Amino acid sequence: MMLSLLGCAQGTTTTVEQATAKRPGTVSVIGAISGEQQAQLEAALVPFEEETGIEVVYEGTDAFTTLLPVRIDSNDAPDVAMFPQPGLMRSLAEEGALVPLEAVLTREELAQYYPESWIELSEVDNEVYGIWYRAAVKSLVWYVPEEFKKGGYQPPETWDEMLALSDRMVADGKTPWCLGLESGNASGWPGTDWVEEIVLRQSGPAYYDEWVEHGVPFNAPKVQAAFETLGQIVRSPGYVWGGKTGALSIPWGDSIGGLFGENPNCLMHRQGNFASGFFPDNVVPGEDIDFFPTPDINPDYKNALLVGGDIFAMVNDTPEARQLMAYLATPTPHEIWAAEGGFLSANTQVDLNVYPDVISRKEAALLTEAEIVRFDGSDLMPGAVGTGTFWSGIMDFVAGTSAADATEKIEFYWPDASEQETLEQESLEQETL
């Protein structure tokens, strides 16, 4: 108490800085990952803690999208947040709740580590806010090679081949697909990935961008067509294990387990690379499990890839938070987790040899070789849709609502033009100020 009073009396900033330098503090981080993944993240931050003496206090919560805005509103915000979706980062940045990265790394410095397309994805109003950490490849269909060999099945090249294969499996008395949409109050999201894949492959990247930016309404015919295409899988009798009740009830992480075992529940499962975290323990990647990229629909849009990613952004501008952000851009934390498995990085300086197995190397190659790369659309849409009615709309559609009704309801919740106008006006006002 006395010391701090004396410090105030002297009143120079240098003494304050020295005080923090002598007693390196902590940096608090909030993120959506927990459990085993949390341990891996913390392991990746150990070199930072050892080098700087700063302690990273990580808090993992599965209610991230609800909790972070509440914490910011109540002035109880963590220093750094690891966003599972840039959509929320974007809206918080627009509100001025986040600190631009400029203070830590310039765009040029960042370009040493990340491809231009990824840097653009971390921008809000021409300012970079975030550092990409874990990247995800979503366009993967998992299968067990042994089971495919037994049935004489070949990985399909086109969507029609995939449907024909599914029909063959049903005729052979097997269930082609496992699908689990349950995910607490985020239920439905695995289905949004399906719809995004289909829009991208059916109507192309330009239309995909327009759809994500609301250049076309959500209930546009092409989007409805994508829902119907998903319907060909989830609504065809015998296609999905447990039918629609199974799809709606089974937790998403459990659903891939259906591929394994003596008598597997199903033969194919479409899910991102992070599904590997839910493999049974004794599974050898590349032998017991493999994937083929989601097949093309329209040959004009071949070799397209849907990706996702976790992005770090600063909420409080503290020296410790700045140091952590700078560290996260370097390849070290990426390589540490990559070596553990279940992790891909968009950081170009990461050595491909650190990936522990054939599967992740194959995924990383896919990430660099794809001709059309698009970010997970629901993560870029406004929260009311991307983390709200798009999810619940998928649940409604799978439960039996028509594509027209389901998409109309989602469209109703898209923030209307007047809201977006106020946002634009505000940014203009700020510029003139």
Partner 1 sequence: MDNVSLILKALLAIALGSVGIIGIFYGLNILVEKALPERSRIKVLPWIYVGPSVLLLTIYLVIPTIRTFYLSFFDNRSEGFVGLQNYLFVLTAPDTLVTFRNNILWLVLVTGLSVGLGLIIAVLIDRVKYENLAKSLIFLPMAISFVGASVIWRFIYAYRPEGAPQIGLLNAIVTSLGFEPVGWLVNPAINNFALIAIMIWLQTGFCMVLLSSAVKGVPDDVLEAARVDGASEIQIFRRIIVPMIMPTVLVVSTTVIVLVLKVFDIVFVMTGGNLGTDVIASRMIREMFNFRNYGRGSAIAVILLIAVIPVMVANVRRFRQQELDR
Which region, judged by CB under 8 A, interacts with partner 1, from 1-9, 12-20, 184-192, 207-215? 184-192
| Of residues 13-52, those binding partner 1 (CB under 8 A) | none
Nearest approach in angstroms of CB 394 to partner 1 is 9
Phi-psi region of 317 (alpha: psi -120 to 50; beta: other; left: phi over 0): beta
What 3-state class would DSSP assign to 314? strand
Q: Measured between alpha carbons, how far is residue 304 from residues 165, 201, 299, 347, 372 in Å?
A: 21, 7, 10, 20, 4
Distance CA 410, CA 218 (A): 7
CA of 385: how far to CAs of 23, 47, 333, 389, in Å? Answer: 45, 39, 33, 5
87 binds partner 1 (CB under 8 A): no
DSSP letter for each residue of 147-195: HHHHHT----SBHHHHHHHHHHHHHTT---B----BBTBTTTHHHHHHH
404 touching partner 1, by CB under 8 A:
no
In the set 412, 427, 428, 430, which binds partner 1 (CB under 8 A)?
A: 412
Nearer to partner 1, 33 or 385 (CB): 385
Q: Which of 211, 241, 343, 355 is the binder for partner 1 (CB under 8 A)? A: 241
| Residue 186 interacting with partner 1 (CB under 8 A) | yes
> What are the Cα distances from residue 337, in Å, to 30, 196, 230, 321, 367?
18, 28, 34, 20, 17
* Segment lying near partner 1 (by CB under 8 A), choices 276-284, 347-355, 368-376, 414-422: 414-422
Q: What minimum distance in Å lies between the beta carbon of 23 and partner 1?
A: 17
CA separation for the pair 433, 427 (Å, rounded): 10
Please tell me whether residue 273 binds partner 1 under the rule CB under 8 A: no
Nearer to partner 1, 242 or 333 (CB): 242
Among 42, 123, 340, 408, binds partner 1 (CB under 8 A): 408
Q: Which of 17, 51, 55, 95 binds partner 1 (CB under 8 A)?
A: 95
152-160, 212-220, 283-291, 413-421 -> range binding partner 1 (CB under 8 A): 413-421
375 scored as a contact of partner 1 (CB under 8 A): no
118 pairs with which residues across the strands?
Answer: none
* Tokens 């849907």 sit on residue: 306
The angle at the Cα of 353, spanning 352 to 359, to the nearest 5 degrees, equals 75
Interface of this chain with partner 1, residues 378 to 397, rule: CB under 8 A: 382-384, 387-388, 391-392, 395-396
- Distance between CA atoms of residues 254 and 16, nearest Å: 52
> Hey, which residues does 314 pair with through a beta bridge?
80, 99
Is residue 125 part of the contact set for partner 1 (CB under 8 A)? Answer: no
Q: Is 430 in the site for partner 1 (CB under 8 A)?
A: no
Q: Near partner 1 by CB under 8 A, which window of 32-40, 215-223, 276-284, 407-415?
A: 407-415
Residue 180 interacting with partner 1 (CB under 8 A): no
Q: Which of 184, 237, 262, 424 binds partner 1 (CB under 8 A)?
A: 184
Query: How far is the C-alpha of 180 from the C-alpha of 251, rounded, in Å?
Result: 5
- One of 44, 80, 248, 259 touching partner 1 (CB under 8 A): 248
In angstroms, rounded to a whole number, what is the distance separating the alpha carbons of residues 242 and 220? Answer: 31
CB of 242 to partner 1, least distance (A): 3
158: which strand partners? 296
Residues in CB range of 122: below 8 A, 6 or more apart = 86, 101, 128, 129, 130, 131, 132, 311
Of 370 and 399, the one with the shorter C-beta distance to partner 1 is 399
- Contact positions with partner 1 (CB under 8 A) in 331-350: none
Site for partner 1 in 209-238 (CB under 8 A): none
In the complex, the residues that contact partner 1 under the rule CB under 8 A are 65-66, 69-70, 91, 95, 184-188, 241-243, 245-246, 248-250, 265, 382-384, 387-388, 391-392, 395-396, 399, 408-409, 412-413, 415, 418-419, 422, 426
